[in-house]
Amino acid sequence: VKANDGVLTNFEVLNFLRSRGAGKDLTRVIAPIAPSEFKVYDYLEQTAACSQTRESIISFVGKSKQYKLAEAEILNLINIRPSSVVEIDPIVEECDKRMGEGVEELVEMVLQVLPTPPSQMQSDDQVEFNKDDVREGQEVEAS
Amino acid sequence: VPTLHTLPGSAPEITEGYIQMFYLSKIEHTLRLPPHLLNLPVNQAIKGELEGLFLDKVIADLGLCISIYDIHSIDGGFITPGDGASTYTVMFRMIMFRPFVGEVIAAKLKESDREGLKLSLGFFDDIHVPEHLLPMPKQFEPESGNSNQGRWIWEFNGDNYPIDAVDEIRFRVHHVTYPSLPVEQEKASKPFAPMIVTGSLDADGLGPISWWV
């Protein structure tokens, strides 16, 4: 068994919970999901994972190879989905030294390959993430 | 007495880069199914028991148990004399939550006082950002007078950036500890212990997301 065989991105955990009916049961009583699991679902639905797909993640991992990033850094990029150079800073160690100008290319790649999370789709003025709006949107899709 | 251990060879390596926020842990556990569950299909009864035992509890060094991912095998079903319950040995995988050092995570502010911040993910609350891991230069603004509660303010380029409970706060995991409980646990109780995540906000791109975006 490979040591990193069991690693899961936020997306995979969210997908697992969705496949058991987490997003479909509005009452939260019928689906066989524990309250503590619903809390994890609620958290992940607010992160970039909620609009990601398996294909986009696989594509991203492939395109990351040229940047010689550590596995943990790639995982962080997928989970956080930074949209600017300053957001990449805490994720890639010694970013300036290792990447120089290349970091802007990396940001472009992230923006293109990984879907935009709902929080970043709101207008530039409104930085606050309105959780209720997203929930409502999801409920409409589910019905 | 139920036993709990991870299978040799499948225990996650405790080296950086192999520890991940969410991962699968293979576990072997022996449990008793009380007689009142015997009318349920065995798989369902066992899954229910495992969930009751593990979900939302921390196993030292492995992290917080999130979900039963799958059940690999169920052995046993023997009823010990004088006991209405049957005993099973189950091999299964669980989704564990265990942040890795260096991981960047988005959280909400729960508490703010002179000692620092307490952050929460909703499903996990024990995240501490001690005041020495806050961005500097910084200042503490007490709620009133000598109050211990208050907010922290980062001073940068002549401007004040307060840490409020308004938007998400990104922190980087500094270290993770599993302090053992001070009280003696009963013989039959499980080896569950708290997990404390210490985070840092002391780098560009960390802190309230509105500072950077």
Contact A43 B123 (CB under 8 A): yes
ipTM: 0.80
Interface test with B, best of A2, A8, A81 (most B CBs within 10 A): A8
Confidence of residue B39 (pLDDT cuts 50, 70, 90): confident
The pTM is what?
0.79
Least CB–CB distance from B103: residue in A13, A34, A72: A72
Q: How close A17 gets to chain B, by Cα (Å)?
A: 9
* B49-93 per-position pLDDT tens digit: 999 999 999 988 889 999 999 999 999 877 777 777 889 999 999
pLDDT range class, residue B145, cuts 50, 70, 90: confident
Count contacts between A and B (CB, < 8 Å).
Answer: 117
pLDDT at B10: 34
Residue B20: per-residue pLDDT: 63
CA distance B13 to chain A (A): 7
In chain A, the largest separation of any two C-alpha atoms, in whole Å, equals 53
Average pLDDT over residues A18-47: 92
Report B:87-146 residues touching A (Cβ under 8 A).
93, 95, 97, 100, 102-106, 121-123
CA terminus-to-terminus distance, chain B: 54
Please tell me the predicted confidence (pLDDT) of residue B119: 96
First and final C-alpha spacing in chain A: 42
Residue B193's pLDDT band (cuts 50, 70, 90): low
Three-class secondary structure of residue B167 per DSSP:
coil
Assess whether pLDDT exceeds 60 at residue B1: no
Task: Assign B48 a pLDDT band (cuts: 50, 70, 90).
Answer: very high
* pLDDT for the residue numbered B142: 92
Q: What is the pLDDT of residue B77?
A: 79
Kindly report, residue by residue over A109-126, the tens digit of the pLDDT: 999 999 988 766 653 334
Helices and strands in chain B: count of H runs, count of E runs: 1, 14
**Average pLDDT estimate for A83-107:** 90
- Residue B182's pLDDT is what? 60
Q: B43 in the Ramachandran plot: left (φ > 0), alpha (ψ -120 to 50) or beta?
A: alpha
pLDDT given at position B176: 95
Chain B residue closest in CA terms to A48: B106
Interface test with A, best of B15, B22, B58, B124 (most A CBs within 10 A): B22
Rounded CA separation B141/B139 (Å) = 6
Q: Parallel, antiparallel, or unpaired for β B196-200 and B127-130?
A: parallel
DSSP label at residue B99: P
| Residue B170, C-beta contacts closer than 8 angstroms, at least 6 positions apart | A80, A90, B104, B105, B106, B107, B205, B206, B207, B209
In this structure, are residues B77 and B155 in contact, taking their beta carbons and an 8 Å threshold? Answer: no
